[in-house]
């Protein structure tokens, strides 16, 4: 029996889909534990390629590096050899966390375009920092996640 947090099935499956879903991971991801297991083994390079094809904000080198903590050169290596080259656990975790935050923003703002705009605009609730700039550290990730939750429930400040 898989461990699941209440309500995580939707966000986990949407996040996995943003990374290519079962075609990329050779399995369905329905729970956070499923995601944990796949992150431990390292994402295939094609997850990174799929994400970059579906989220415009990370097509620019500075967005890519801030959001995912990976250099453009690292991405290019994975793009060339999507089958053999796996991301490390740390890289896989960063990619997962970005995709999860992005999907939460899509849920709150209603579209990918609006979610991308949210990530790029200075936010009053984040002391005028851009959410994408905060994704470079675990503390910043937590701030962005909390900010999205506050907006979701109508608490802006």
Total tally of structural domains belonging to the chain: 1
Q: In this structure, is residue 51 part of a structural domain?
A: yes
Q: In this structure, is residue 2 part of a structural domain?
A: no
Predicted confidence (pLDDT) at residue 2 exceeds the cutoff of 50: no
Q: In this structure, is residue 157 part of a structural domain?
A: no
Q: In this structure, is residue 106 part of a structural domain?
A: yes
Question: How far apart (Å, rounded) are the C-alpha atoms in residues 84 and 101?
Answer: 27
Q: 32, 8 in Cβ contact below 8 A? A: yes
C-alpha of 47 from chain center: 11
Q: In this structure, is residue 3 part of a structural domain?
A: no
Mean pLDDT of 87-93: 93
In the DSSP assignment, the letter for residue 83 is: T
Q: 103, 96 in Cβ contact below 8 A? A: no
Q: In this structure, is residue 1 part of a structural domain?
A: no
List the domain range (segments joined by +) for residue 91.
Answer: 8-152
- pLDDT by residue (tens digit) across 115-145? 999 999 999 999 999 999 999 899 999 999 9
């Amino acid at each position: 029996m898989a461990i699941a947090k209440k309500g995580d099935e939707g966000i986990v499956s949407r996040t996995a889909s943003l990374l290519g879903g079962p075609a990329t991971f050779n399995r369905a991801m329905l729970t956070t534990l499923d995601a944990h297991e796949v992150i431990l083994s390292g994402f295939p390079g094609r997850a990174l390629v799929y994400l970059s094809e579906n989220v415009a904000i990370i097509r620019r080198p500075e967005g890519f590096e801030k959001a995912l903590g990976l250099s453009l050169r690292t991405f290019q290596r994975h793009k060339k050899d999507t089958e053999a080259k796996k991301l490390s656990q740390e890289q896989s975790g960063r990619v997962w966390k970005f995709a999860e935050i992005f999907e939460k923003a899509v849920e709150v703002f209603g579209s990918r375009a609006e979610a991308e705009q949210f990530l790029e605009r200075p936010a009053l609730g984040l002391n005028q920092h851009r959410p994408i700039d905060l994704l470079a550290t675990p503390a910043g990730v937590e701030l962005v996640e909390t900010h999205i939750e506050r907006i979701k429930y109508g608490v802006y400040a």
